Structure 1
Amino acid sequence: MEKFVKYFVLILMVSAFIMAGCSKDDDDDPPAPPPPAKFDVLKDYMIANTMDVSTVIDGWIITAQDVNAKAIGDFFIIDIRSQQDYDNGHIEGAVNTTLGDILTTAEAATKPILVVCYTGQAAGHGVVALRLSGYSDAKVLKWGMSSWRDDLAGKWESNVGDAAIGNPSWIVPPGAITDPAEFADPVIESSFTEGAEILAERVDEMLANGFSGIANGDVLGNPTEYFINNYWAAEDVVTYGNITGAYRLNPFTLADGTYKNLDPSKTIVNYCWTGQTSSMLTAYFYVIGYDDTKSLKYGVN
């Protein structure tokens, strides 16, 4: 009996030693790495699939003259003006829809898509959505319907002015652009984990929000409230000046890391000459995670 007890105790000791060793091994296992940030997943997907901003805004616009030269029938024309204005007159063959429904309407396209609005600005949001959704040759009608018929140019002509002349928030030539700084990446909240799914979700959100524009009076009235991005060439700033405090992020891409020069904590205002290119940028910036981004309506015109 005594031998049995000793033998039993020995078995218990060996078992305890083995269990302790296993427990220690388990404790030493490295923790699982955290999942990649949704922004990084989206960024890498877009770079890998030729969706960097430099590609998306390449060849994105066409004039009324060039449309007529090619023949209207060469395009699937989507008109995103109001139903009433569409009914009052539209380009032959154009289909009326809203910005929010543009992807659904585009499913019927069998030809390159041309997006038409009033002034060429809201259409930029639609073309970014289309180009990021497989319609890589979609284009904006430059100046919108303002360029198609003289009697429809009122929306553009009534917004041409000289609000910046003599305004203390406009730095006269040669201008003074703010040196770029590096900021944190934007944070994207999504239940999806794959780049394609995150992209589709972001595009849908951008379209649902509608055209994101801001009036010149709001920006000139308090420019320090915004992160202002001048999307001109450097020599144009020297010639015309710039809005006080403006940065100049041009060129800008995901691949080269210059997106880090955007501040996600502030309202970003993009401005260009006419508000058409800045509309494209604004839509793209929203998609990649800069939720509070606006286009200066009608640009410096």
Structure 2
Amino acid sequence: MKKLSFLILGLLFIPTFLLTSCDRGDDPSSDVVATAKFTIMKDYMVQNNLDIDKILTNTDGESFVVPAPASSDLVDAFLSSYYIMDIRSAADYTTSHVAGAKNVAFSNILTEAEKAGTKPILVVCYTGQTACYATALLRMYGYSKTRALKWGMSGWNSSTANSWNNAIGNSASNHINWSYSVAPSNVVYVDPSITSQSSDGLTILKERVEATVALGFQTVKGIDVLSSPNNYFINNYFSETDYLGYGHIANAYRIKEDLLLTNNGYLGLNPSANAKVVTYCYTGQTSAVITACLRVLGYDAYSLTFGMNGLYNSNPGWGTSPNKWSASMSKNYAIGNN
């Protein structure tokens, strides 16, 4: 009788063991499955024109950022052509905003975008950086014609320009960690790992975008990276000429032209959970886009705020670069409070 009892218990245990084994084998938290989820999403993005270069410039040839109109007589037509989201604080929106803009919390950009219908979306913030982050996420979510207002409200009207005027700096000048050496050779890493219960590329992508929006804009200050560059995996997003001519944070990699899914250039970035991948550019606007893309892809990514302008605005290599902030960048177009 005792043997029979053990036999019955054994038979009952076998199905449970098999089910548990199947669950573990398909556990999305395992490294193998997490990498597979990344591959599914990656393939979907490539096949649907959502690689990083297509987020920077959509299939219609439109950059992620658009400057304010060149003259005041073009303003009305410019504004009327967009569904405008102002993602600044409610208090600052109430004080002044561009005509027709709706005040939208960053966390609500995806649901608000549904109201735009087929109209292109324009995102407005203080400096253009958070708006560029939002623009990248909206483009990945399906709103490919979204654009950010370059320089944000700082570029629209001089009375709102202090967000930029007060942010430029020269902490890199003569700093021990500012270098003019050649870029280190890129290392080849492995794919990032992401988790999802889905095996559908679009669903996984939308989950990743939603999670990134919920987390908010992930940034780091230039002075913090400059002071302790070894605490970060630094990606300089300059041209090769500017990398050497302007200088750069010591030991920064330069992964720009090849930073794509299609050619596996993204493998030059460290996907480790302990590696803070910091991208910096000239204005903090392009690096915001890159950071949004990398966050969705599964990297612990951050954008260095204000870019070169915050690090070394007086750098003699700038010349008359359109990416160098000065008070003259501000227009004086109308702003309302109703």
For the superposition of Structure 1 and Structure 2, which TM-score range results when normalised by the shorter chain? 0.7 to 0.9
The TM-score normalised by the length of structure 2 is 0.76
Distance 1:134 1:260 in 2: 25
Q: Which amino acid aligns with 1:232?
A: F
Q: TM-score, normalised by structure 1?
A: 0.86
Following the alignment from structure 2 to structure 1, what is the Cα–Cα distance between the partners of residues 100 and 75? 13
Aligned to 1:281: 290
Matches within 5 A, 1:33-48: 37-48=36-47
Unaligned runs of 5+ in 2: 1-24, 27-31, 58-62, 310-338
Q: CA deviation at 1:146?
A: 0.3
Give the 5 Å matches for 1:1-301: 37-58=36-57, 59-65=63-69, 68=75, 70-110=77-117, 111-172=119-180, 175-251=181-257, 252-265=259-272, 266-290=275-299, 292-301=300-309
Tell me how far apart the structure 1 counterparts of residues 191 and 231 of structure 2 sit (CA, whole Å): 20
Q: Aligned partners of 1:112 and 1:247: how far apart in 2?
A: 35
Question: Alpha-carbon deviations, 1:24-45, whole Å to 9, x = none?
Answer: xxxxxxxx99867111011001
Distance 1:47 1:264 in 2: 19
Q: 1:71: how far off?
A: 2.5
Query: Could you list the per-position Cα deviations for residues 135-182 of structure 1 after superposition, in whole angstroms to 9, with x for gaps in the alignment?
Result: 11110100000011101010111010101001111003xx32111010
Preserved CA contact (<8 Å) 2:138 2:146: yes
Structure-1 separation of matches of 2:160 and 2:216: 22
Say if 1:60 and 1:139, in contact at 8 Å, map to a contact too: yes
- Aligned partners of 1:47, 1:68: CA distance in 2, in Å? 36
1:250 maps to a residue whose letter is K
Amino acid at match of 2:98: I
Structure 2 letter corresponding to 1:63:
P
Deviation at residue 216 of structure 1 after TM alignment: 1.0
SS, match of residue 98 in structure 2: coil
Conserved 8 A contact 1:103-1:130: yes
- Specify the SS of the correspondent of 2:245: helix
Deviation at 1:69, TM superposition (A): 7.4
- After superposition, the CA RMSD in angstroms is 1.6
3-state DSSP of counterpart to 2:235: strand
**Residues 45 and 51, structure 2, Cα contact 8 Å, conserved in 1:** yes
Dislocated runs of 4+, deviation >2 Å: 32-36, 66-71
Residues 176 and 242, structure 1, Cα contact 8 Å, conserved in 2: no
Report the equivalent of 2:326.
none
Q: Distance between the aligned counterparts of 2:75 and 2:64, measured in 1? A: 17
| Distance in 2, Cα, partners of 1:269 & 1:227 | 6
Query: SS at the partner of 2:145?
Result: coil
Q: Counterpart of 2:193 in 1: which secondary structure? A: coil
Number of aligned residue pairs: 267
Structure 2 match to 1:13: none
- Structure exhibiting the larger radius of gyration computed from Cα positions: 1
- Unaligned stretches of 5+ in structure 1? 1-31
Deviations 1:86-141 (A, max 9, x none): 01111111011111100111111131100000000001121111111221111010
SS at structure 2 position matched to 1:65 = coil
Q: Write the distance in 2 (CA, Å) between the matches of 1:258 and 1:149.
A: 39
Does the CA contact (< 8 Å) of 1:131 and 1:137 recur in 2? yes
